[in-house]
Structure 1
Amino acid sequence: MSRPEDLLRDLRIDRRPEARRPASHRKWVALAVLAALVLAVLAWRATRPVVVDTALARPAAEAGPPTLLDASGFVTARRIATVSSKVTGRVAEVLIEEGMKVEEGQLLARLDPTDARAQLELATAQLASSESQLAEARTQLALAETTLARQQELLGRRLVSQAAYDQARADRDARAARLASLEKAVEVAREQRALALIGVENTEIRAPFSGVIVAKAAQPGEMVSPLSAGGGFTRTGIGTLVDMDSLEVNVDVNEAYIGRVQPKMGVNAVLNAYPDWTIPGSVIAIVPTADRSKATVKVRIALDSRDPRIVPDMGVRVSFLAPVDPEAPPPSGALVPEAAIVRASGEDGARPAVFVLEEGRVRRVEVVLGAEANAERQVTAGLVGGETVVVAPPPGLRDGERAVPRSPRR
């Protein structure tokens, strides 16, 4: 076995100069590794293409007329009704649901008809009684006419007295008067029955016009009344009906710019729910009153589309279009997003430019700018339309650099 002194000698650290490596050598090795990593990163970045957002330059001739004014508003319906009954009653049946299309005159709901039918049965019975009495009176009048004629003949032959003849004539006149009274009573009974029949019909709630149900307000068992009862347990309507063919747009235009708007001028409407869908339309009328709190004037706009995606109370942005001269030449150049324009800074004589992406590389093209409209800028020289331009070029992007589109958009 080894002695403890030998074991301790084996564990001793050798501190002789020839056993240590120089510190300067380790420093140069670390610098060489760092330089190699930097060169590798630079080489990788030099070969990696830049990812950019792109858009397609549109020919200016296809862009349509320029925009004079932008405004926002909402889709509204000219024909909208809360359908209710003519009488107060308890709901027996509801035949509608939200989103249901109904035609004019279609049955929407029924009220409990018990009382109305009882009134109808009573009026029918009264009419039958009056008609029976009228038939009896007609028979009695016919008998009185016959009796009077006989008495008149006997009076001429002096077989009866004048008093008997006068009695027969008075009886005939009384029965004729009673017949006329019963005829009026029958007419009144018929009117009462017709009124009771209307009461039964009033328990059936029907659509006043064709449209779509947008709200269902009552359930079977609830009370409904055309007038509010002042409490929270009586409904004033069965549901809300909207005529989708009467939809239009109402926008508020600043009164300082209302002079630019004219009736029948063209517009482009964009719903907030569908920002990529442009709907053509025209101005119906300018409402001749102003809102003093907002300093705006309301303008009514008709939409050329009857698409089911257009629903009431949707937000909409409207662009009023300038009138187009049919004899004017079409505009030249292209339209590009305003964010695609690169403006030179600190360079004398340098013009604005755009970067055009071609075959995986960007090319810097100097352009001449025109009018701006709807976040787009017209380029009158340098582009013709159809080119793929870089939107919001990243800082340091150079002419001829490799690039790939991230998400091309129109």
Structure 2
Amino acid sequence: MPSPWRRQRAVGRRRTRLEVSHARGFSKFVSRQSEMASLEAALEQAEVNLEYTILRAPTDGVVLAKLKEAGEIAVPGGFAGSGDLVRLANLHDLRAEVDVNESDLSLVHLRQRAQVTPDADPNAHYAAEVVKLYPQVDRQKGTLKVEVRVLEPDGRLLPDMSARVAFLPDLPAAGSANRKAILVPATALRRDNDGRSYVWVVQGGRARRCEVETAGMVGDRVRITQGLAGEEKLVVGAPPAREGARVSVAP
């Protein structure tokens, strides 16, 4: 019969083996947890990389052109649009760009009403508004680029169409006197070297200079706010040689 000392020694050896086995199992558990965390990180990175392969349009629209083919290199933000992949157009947000002479900039402002007439259909007129005045003047042309947004576009308006833009005067405020607008042909309006606007009025068969104030375009005519009563006869086209020059009124 084994002595108590031998039994205690055997129990101690079994306990030691259990502790070693437990330590090994815990070490494997920690190692598996580390591997699991590493695999989860790799999976997350793979999902991110997969997301990079998906192109999402910033807005609804149609594809106008595919600029890259499979296998070509595209560098985001590359020189001269080298990173562009496709060209999109949002047909529900059509805009027109027009160059406005520096001398006419005082007649244009943000949120001003405008009218867009496509060259393809001169009888179609679209209400628009000024949404952007570019921050720099083109010194070569002496113009500023202005952007207007068509309020209710339809299927007749297409990207890159040519169109004419007319800037309309502001509507009178509620409760203000409703004066009748005086419109004159754009070819009758002149400007002197100081930038003052004027027209040539026919009085007694002679040309008289009359300074006026304007408030934008209505189609191909200029709205006059001061200087004319509305019944004057004006010189259009070639100006008279001098103040008081004799002119004849066409029937």
Corresponding letter in the other structure for 1:328: A
Structure 1 residue 160: Cα displacement: 2.9
Structure 2 counterpart of 1:177: 27
Residue of 167, 189, 193 corresponding to 2:39:
189
Q: Secondary structure at the match of 2:103?
A: coil
With structure 2 as the length reference, what TM-score do the two structures score?
0.57
Q: Secondary structure at the match of 1:160?
A: helix
From the superposition, tell whether residues 224 and 198 of structure 1 become closer, same or farther in structure 2 (CA, over 3 Å). farther
Q: Percent identity?
A: 22
From the superposition, tell whether residues 349 and 256 of structure 1 become closer, same or farther in structure 2 (CA, over 3 Å). closer
Structure 2 counterpart of 1:306: 153
Q: Secondary structure at the match of 1:310?
A: coil
Matched, 1:160 2:7: no
Tell me, which stretches of 5 or more residues in structure 2 are unaligned?
77-81, 188-202, 207-213, 224-228, 232-250
Query: What is the rounded CA distance, in whole Å, between the counterparts of 2:35 and 2:18 in structure 1?
Result: 26
Matching of residues 235-384 of structure 1 within 5 Å: 239-326=86-173, 327-331=176-180, 374-375=219-220, 380=230
Q: Is the CA contact 2:166–2:218 (under 8 Å) kept in the aligned structure 1? A: no
Structure 1 residue 251: Cα displacement: 2.2
Matching of residues 34-73 of structure 1 within 5 Å: none
Structure 1 residue 301: Cα displacement: 1.6
The alignment of Structure 1 onto Structure 2 pairs a total of residues equal to 191
- Whose relative contact order is higher, 1 or 2, with alpha carbons under 8 Å and at least 6 apart? 1
Corresponding letter in the other structure for 1:271: P
Q: Secondary structure at the match of 1:257?
A: helix
From the superposition, tell whether residues 237 and 300 of structure 1 become closer, same or farther in structure 2 (CA, over 3 Å). closer
Q: Is the CA contact 2:98–2:146 (under 8 Å) kept in the aligned structure 1? A: yes
Q: Greater share of helix residues, 1 or 2? A: 1
Structure 1 residue 197: Cα displacement: 5.9
Q: Is the CA contact 2:93–2:149 (under 8 Å) kept in the aligned structure 1? A: no
Structure 1 residue 208: Cα displacement: 5.1
Q: Is the CA contact 1:224–1:236 (under 8 Å) kept in the aligned structure 2? A: no
1:249-275 superposed Cα distances (whole Å, 9 cap, x missing partner): 222222232222221111122222222
Query: What is the rounded CA distance, in whole Å, between the counterparts of 1:285 and 1:164 in structure 2?
Result: 85
With structure 1 as the length reference, what TM-score do the two structures score?
0.37
1:328-379 superposed Cα distances (whole Å, 9 cap, x missing partner): 34528999999xxxxxxxxx9679xxxxxxxxxxxxxxxxxxx997556999
Query: What is the rounded CA distance, in whole Å, between the counterparts of 1:259 and 1:334 in structure 2?
Result: 18
1:69-106 superposed Cα distances (whole Å, 9 cap, x missing partner): xxxxxxxxxxxxxxxxxxxxxxxxxxxxxxxxxxxxxx
Matched, 1:223 2:105: no
From the superposition, tell whether residues 252 and 159 of structure 1 become closer, same or farther in structure 2 (CA, over 3 Å). same
Structure 1 residue 215: Cα displacement: 1.7
Corresponding letter in the other structure for 1:280: A
Q: Is the CA contact 1:226–1:237 (under 8 Å) kept in the aligned structure 2? A: yes
Q: Is the CA contact 2:74–2:85 (under 8 Å) kept in the aligned structure 1? A: no
Structure 1 residue 212: Cα displacement: 0.7
Corresponding letter in the other structure for 2:126: I
Structure 1 residue 176: Cα displacement: 0.7
Which structure has the larger Rg? 1
